[in-house]
Amino acid sequence: MGLNHCEGQPYAAGSLRRALERGRMAQAYLFAGPEGCGKRLVARELAKAVLCEAPVSGDACGTCRSCRLVESGSHPDVEFFRPEGGKASYPVRQLREEIRRRAYLKPALGPRRFIVIERAEALVRSSGARNEGADTLLKLLEEPAPQTCLVLLTSRPEVLPETVRSRCQLVRFRPPPVGALVSDLVREYGLEEAEARFAAYVSGGDPESAAGLVARRKERKFLLSLRDRLLSAARLLGTMSYPELFEAAAAVESHARDWGLLSGALGVLSLIYRDGALRGLGAGERVLAFPAGAEAEAAGELAGRHAPEVLVAAARRVLKAQGDARRYPARLLLLEVLFIDLKCILRAPADRREGGEVSCS
């Protein structure tokens, strides 16, 4: 791999490689971009390039002991952190007793340590309470360990305090190109194109995440079950009874086993409604997220039953739920509330719509 070969993010990876060539590595970075766009991959390749025993033009050789250790996830100087226990936010104890303590350790093998904090937006609570997590991180940025590089990964940089953002070098990541990933999944794993497109979108376009979802038969079967349940909900929410609606929410929640997969599934649901609106407006296949397959059939059915503005309202509501997903304490409750609102939107008569929004009163 290496920074020179981070497909989908040539600008971000290239800027980091050039900085390493000039010896201008920052003490802290903020990698900002959509979920699944490859931020974690680039963070790993940055660590690999810095710790490489025989670097070539600011990039890793890929074959030395250090490169192999980073690649396998066993290098003692490279650590990735997520909120423990799948929680929506970082416990202060985790930040103080694990992340901050490890940041001040001396490197074991290489010249630096790398501390990578995934979902950095989870440092900030949405409740309005004192953000002890962000305060703890700020102290680490104000008094940095000289041999440690801190890398924050976030899809929502705006929620981080300005005091944190201003102490990090910002690296922006672009939305991932889905088409290339779809082709790779079809070629490498023998998926049908529609299945590969679902895997690409539900993983946010991240090659590593998508591969993890389809590489093993058991995981692929589970992913396709999630797809079936999501498509059933997309088609039928407007006509479901409330018991059926709650059953559908539970089915989707049970197959979206973590917050990342749930967020990806909601992204796919919003695209189905969006494609339905575009089909209703007579748009060509070139602009559709799903030009073929079961998702396209679902979008076509929705276009035949609902006006484009209704489907746009449904897509907006799903996107709001996707934005709330990281802050919601209960995933099933999030889905139940979302599905109730979508049922209301999709059954609302035309005279209840005002300005593209749907009133459910």
Q: Which tokens sit at 164?
A: 């944190």
| pTM given for the model | 0.63
- Please indicate, yes or no, whether residues 153 and 236 belong to a single structural domain of this protein: no
- Please indicate, yes or no, whether residues 157 and 240 belong to a single structural domain of this protein: no
Phi first, then psi, for residue 167 (nearest 5°) are -95, 5
- Please indicate, yes or no, whether residues 238 and 327 belong to a single structural domain of this protein: yes
Which pLDDT belongs to residue 31? 94
Helices 193-202 and 207-214: crossing angle in degrees, nearest 10, is 120
- Please indicate, yes or no, whether residues 229 and 334 belong to a single structural domain of this protein: yes
- Please indicate, yes or no, whether residues 160 and 257 belong to a single structural domain of this protein: no
Residue 199 included in any domain: no
Domain count, the chain: 2
* Binned average pLDDT, 10 residues per bin, the chain of 361 residues: 70 87 90 82 92 86 93 94 81 86 91 93 64 80 89 89 92 80 89 91 81 86 93 93 95 86 92 96 91 94 95 95 76 93 80 46 47
Residue 283 included in any domain: yes
Residue 201 included in any domain: no
SS3 257: coil
Which pLDDT belongs to residue 57? 77
- Please indicate, yes or no, whether residues 128 and 48 belong to a single structural domain of this protein: yes
Residue 332 included in any domain: yes
- Please indicate, yes or no, whether residues 136 and 233 belong to a single structural domain of this protein: no
- Please indicate, yes or no, whether residues 48 and 159 belong to a single structural domain of this protein: yes
* CATH value at residue 15: 3.40.50.300
Which pLDDT belongs to residue 125? 65
- Please indicate, yes or no, whether residues 137 and 272 belong to a single structural domain of this protein: no
> Distance between CA 8 and CA 173 in Å, rounded?
9
Domain residue limits at 331: 216-358
Residue 338 included in any domain: yes
* CATH value at residue 265: 1.20.272
Which pLDDT belongs to residue 130? 53
Which pLDDT belongs to residue 318? 96
Distance of CA 279 to the CA centre of its chain: 27
Residue 103 included in any domain: yes
- The alpha helices in the chain, defined as continuous H runs, are 10-21, 39-51, 65-72, 92-94, 101-103, 132-142, 162-165, 178-189, 193-202, 207-214, 217-236, 242-255, 259-280, 294-305, 308-324, 331-347
- Please indicate, yes or no, whether residues 168 and 283 belong to a single structural domain of this protein: no
- Please indicate, yes or no, whether residues 109 and 236 belong to a single structural domain of this protein: no
Given 112, 144, 172, the domain boundary residue is 172
Q: Which helix (H) or strand (E) holds 171?
A: strand 169-172
- Please indicate, yes or no, whether residues 12 and 119 belong to a single structural domain of this protein: yes
Residue 164 included in any domain: yes
Residue 202 included in any domain: no
